[in-house]
Structure 1
Amino acid sequence: MIILKNANVINLYPPQVENNLDVVIKGNKVASKGHYTQQETRDVKVIDCSGKYVCPGLVCSHNHFYSVLARGILAGIRPSKDFTGILKNLWWKLDGALDKESLYYSGITGALEAIKCGTTAVIDHNASPSFIKGSLSTLMSCFMEAGLRGILCYEVTDRNGKPGALEGLEESVEFIESLDCGGLQDKEGRLIEGAIGAHALFTLSNETLKMLQEAVSRTNRGIHIHAAEDGFDSSYSHCYYDLDIAERLESFGLLNEKAILAHGVHLNKSELELINKHNSFLVHNPRSNMNNSVGYSDKLNLIDNLALGTDGIGSDMLEELKMGFFKSSDAKSPLTINRLLQALQNGNLILERYFGSYFGKVEQGFTADIVIFNYDSPTPVVSDNLAGHLIYGLSSGNVETVIINGQIVLESGEFPFDTSQIYEKARNHASRLWERIKEV
């Protein structure tokens, strides 16, 4: 049992701050929130949270851990004039050069950095065409070693030929089926779930979409796909199939309550209505969209299930929230700070639909994915101004302790194991990866 004493408890949406409460964690759940007076001392961990803020763990709803070792890349990457050029000159070269070791060190450092940012769950989208079979198990080992929660998938695409598409699909399906058997039937107690991954419609034939549909039905999961990240994706769908992107996905039964669509920059209003009709998710990745110059949608406020992701630019969700707000303000978008807070909160809805448990609140019965922030504010922190503190004050630098699934994975800023060797090996594998990229 863990007792968080004298905590200021935050719930993100609707914004709420409650002061000087005790939070009791038993197993992987919040058992109570209030004033704990029992004097149990056996097998009890007490953390003094006086003056600190206890918050639900943050969720990154779209990420690419395979890209971690691209940071500061020195591999002779050619300049690109547009987004498809960026894919061809950088990302498709990088993912083609990944092997088991480089993927592992991408994954483990990505997981450690997510936790240090107060992110307790990452919905990851992997691509490693030279290392497909076993790639999700490799990533799962990274999540498990760090103690991070995740939903994993492998990216299906026709860009490497039909055999590559089949192998990618088999990787996701077999991974999910391995989770659903072998003593892992208890979804509430496990850290890892799986989705059916796909790249984007401009690299997917109708034949492959049919296979994806069958996989979604067979596994009772959802698709995780990039949708209209760049205008080329929409134009391709119109030119070759005479359909909007959401229409093409719907025609193959790929829009459901577990479907995760990333970006959606160039989706039109009728497509957003289709996504809402099927209760699917659209993940906004503001920093990535700005970095790739793919544009900005002024229709994001129309999405019921809007979530926030990073698309591979780390896992700092407070930073993503800030940039999402600043971009919205700059663009004079109707996307308000409250809607962005709701989007950050909505990552928990994805977790609930995959894990079958309650997430995203420090309340009795909810999963104990919790962050303790040491935030000494010069101004009062109350429910009515919490959004202002999240934008202009609180940051990942204030993360002190992280609890995931009822287990302390980071305490007072320290992991329970030495990470220096992990980072040293990661740097070595990054250098080797960069050399291989030059040959791709």
Structure 2
Amino acid sequence: MSMLILKNATVVQLHPAKVQSNVDIAIENDLIKEVGTNLSQRYPQASVKEMQGRLVMPGNVCSHNHFYSGLSRGIQANIAPSPDFISTLKNLWWRLDRALDEESMYYSGLICSLEAIRSGCTAVIDHSASPNYIAGSLSQLRNAFLKVGLRGMTCYETTDRNGGLKELQAGVEENIRFAAEIDRARENGREPYLVEAHIGAHAPFTVPDEGLSMLSEALKSTGRGLHIHAAEDLYDVSHSHHHYGKDLLVRLADYDLIDSKTLVAHGLYLSEEDISLLNERDGFLVHNARSNMNNHVGYNQRLTTFRNLALGTDGIGSDMFEELKFAFFKHRDAGGPLWPDSFAKALTNGNELLSRNFNARFGRVEAGYKADLTVCDYIAPTPLIAENVAGHIAFGMGSASVHSVMVNGVMVYEDRQFTFDCEPIFAEARKAAQKMWQRMDALS
């Protein structure tokens, strides 16, 4: 049993909003034991780290990401002009994912995990694709999470877009295999419980009914929830209406795929019935503002109607301070009524997703909650109080202020340094990226 006290901290929570100055945080193993004053006197055996008034917050969670795309930054490959979303998928992303192999997947996972921690994330909910390297691919991502000390979830995006029924089966089997791997790891307890599983699917327009049936059985057999894109573009909606005569989530619900662990990414063009169904079953909609802007797919005008709104990046890093800013400013640009506190709540909902999947409490600096914390060097130029915390983030504080990050009670990033040399990892990642780009160029 180990105990650590973070002394003289300023505790900040986004939702419910709270600011406490000059307090101590006692951490026992992976849990917060107590928040109060003079805790080093109460626990004289504890180690002490002086916070010097720094902000200590529940760690940020990126609720939808694609670590497989980590080596695409600055990509040098022949990519045909892509005037719409579907052509962007075909010309870029569906070629890149087929170029991934074991090495590139691992290094993509590593560098994305490092950058997530450095930007103040304690957890990332990932969604992976590598059609020519399916079996075992999720284990490589888990290895990367564990190496860096990042908490997270991942899954394989089941699809038939390259290999029909055989590819569907391979995707579902990898999801089931990985969930079983997580269960075994929890039972033996030799490694920290940092990684969980979703059951993944690409999007309704690349998963036929046979695939939905397989996914339904996978959910039942593993006890996990579904992670899927839906209505990112109008094409997804049109395809569902044309081929199945149903709204997107209504079709998924016919196979019992919507529940309280369901994560739907994007959802720009979901119908009212879709949204009602997702809300009734207590599922999550993850908004990815920067990705939607980058792909020119439009804006989700119904953010106010979702019961559980969370924030993700869809592969554009894991800087959730930045993502919150973009989500808010794009909403204002679109004439939306929400203020920063609504997006602060959405960011906090990432921790609620973790709570439901890890069967533990996340997202508050309170006794009994997981010690997943972000420490920031932020000198407030105006009073910092519960009523304006979200405004300080929307208009000021960013990832440049991240000083330290704790995951599962362990300081994985302290005083802006990792506990190991990262440069060799980035050097190998650059080599892996070049090889992947070459393989991608060879694909039509």
Q: Could you give the per-residue CA deviations for residues 61-97 of structure 1, whole angstroms, max 9, x where no partner exists?
A: 0000000100011101112010000000000000000
Q: 2:94 aligns with which of 92, 95, 99?
A: 92
Answer whether contact 2:101 2:132 (CA < 8 A) is retained: yes
Q: Structure 1, unaligned stretches of length 5 or more?
A: none
Residue 236 in 1 paired to residue 239 in 2? Answer: yes
TM-score, normalization by structure 2: 0.97
Q: Could you give the per-residue CA deviations for residues 374-411 of structure 1, whole angstroms, max 9, x where no partner exists?
A: 11222221112111111111100000010000011000
Q: 1:121 aligns with which of 120, 123, 144?
A: 123
Residue 357 in 1 paired to residue 335 in 2? Answer: no
Q: 1:135 aligns with which of 137, 143, 146?
A: 137
Deviation of the 1:333 alpha carbon: 1.4
Deviation of the 1:349 alpha carbon: 1.2
- Give the secondary structure class of the aligned counterpart of 2:418: coil
% identical equivalent positions: 49
Answer whether contact 1:114 1:316 (CA < 8 A) is retained: yes
Distance 1:278 1:188 in 2: 33
Answer whether contact 1:187 1:355 (CA < 8 A) is retained: no
- Amino acid corresponding to residue 69 of structure 1 in structure 2: L
The answer for the alignment partner of 1:3 in structure 2 is 5
- Amino acid corresponding to residue 380 of structure 2 in structure 1: S
Q: Structure 2, unaligned stretches of length 5 or more?
A: none
Residue 179 in 1 paired to residue 182 in 2? Answer: yes
Answer whether contact 1:154 1:196 (CA < 8 A) is retained: yes
Residue 437 in 1 paired to residue 436 in 2? Answer: no
Distance 1:168 1:285 in 2: 24
- Amino acid corresponding to residue 196 of structure 1 in structure 2: I
Distance 2:47 2:352 in 1: 29
Call closer, same or farther: CA 1:281–1:94 in 2, change over 3 Å.
same
Aligned residues: 439
- Amino acid corresponding to residue 89 of structure 1 in structure 2: N
- Give the secondary structure class of the aligned counterpart of 2:202: strand
Q: 1:159 aligns with which of 158, 161, 176?
A: 161
Answer whether contact 2:266 2:287 (CA < 8 A) is retained: yes
The answer for the alignment partner of 2:14 in structure 1 is 12
The answer for the alignment partner of 1:269 in structure 2 is 272
Distance 2:386 2:263 in 1: 30
Answer whether contact 2:34 2:367 (CA < 8 A) is retained: yes
Most deviating of 372-381 and 63-72: 372-381
- Amino acid corresponding to residue 243 of structure 2 in structure 1: Y
Alignment of 1:13-412 (within 5 A): 13-35=15-37, 36-38=39-41, 42=45, 44-160=46-162, 161-184=164-187, 190-412=193-415
Deviation of the 1:24 alpha carbon: 0.7
Answer whether contact 1:51 1:376 (CA < 8 A) is retained: no
- Amino acid corresponding to residue 236 of structure 2 in structure 1: D
Call closer, same or farther: CA 1:189–1:141 in 2, change over 3 Å.
closer
Deviation of the 1:416 alpha carbon: 0.4
Most deviating of 332-341 and 59-68: 332-341
Distance 2:190 2:204 in 1: 31
Call closer, same or farther: CA 1:409–1:291 in 2, change over 3 Å.
same
- Give the secondary structure class of the aligned counterpart of 1:371: strand
Distance 2:308 2:187 in 1: 29
TM-score, normalization by structure 1: 0.98
Q: Could you give the per-residue CA deviations for residues 347-375 of structure 1, whole angstroms, max 9, x where no partner exists?
A: 11111111000000000000000011011
Distance 1:330 1:302 in 2: 18
Distance 2:440 2:40 in 1: 60
- Amino acid corresponding to residue 193 of structure 1 in structure 2: E
Distance 2:187 2:137 in 1: 19
Deviation of the 1:51 alpha carbon: 2.5
- Amino acid corresponding to residue 3 of structure 1 in structure 2: I
Answer whether contact 2:100 2:130 (CA < 8 A) is retained: yes
Q: Could you give the per-residue CA deviations for residues 311-359 of structure 1, whole angstroms, max 9, x where no partner exists?
A: 0000000100000000000001133322211110111111111100000
- Give the secondary structure class of the aligned counterpart of 1:126: coil
Call closer, same or farther: CA 1:301–1:112 in 2, change over 3 Å.
same
Deviation of the 1:216 alpha carbon: 0.6
Answer whether contact 1:298 1:334 (CA < 8 A) is retained: no
Distance 1:133 1:335 in 2: 43
Answer whether contact 2:40 2:48 (CA < 8 A) is retained: no
- Amino acid corresponding to residue 254 of structure 1 in structure 2: L
Call closer, same or farther: CA 1:313–1:183 in 2, change over 3 Å.
closer
Distance 1:132 1:33 in 2: 45
Q: 2:429 aligns with which of 423, 426, 429?
A: 426
Deviation of the 1:178 alpha carbon: 1.7
- Amino acid corresponding to residue 395 of structure 1 in structure 2: G
- Give the secondary structure class of the aligned counterpart of 1:379: coil
Distance 1:314 1:327 in 2: 18
Answer whether contact 1:64 1:124 (CA < 8 A) is retained: yes
Distance 1:395 1:119 in 2: 12
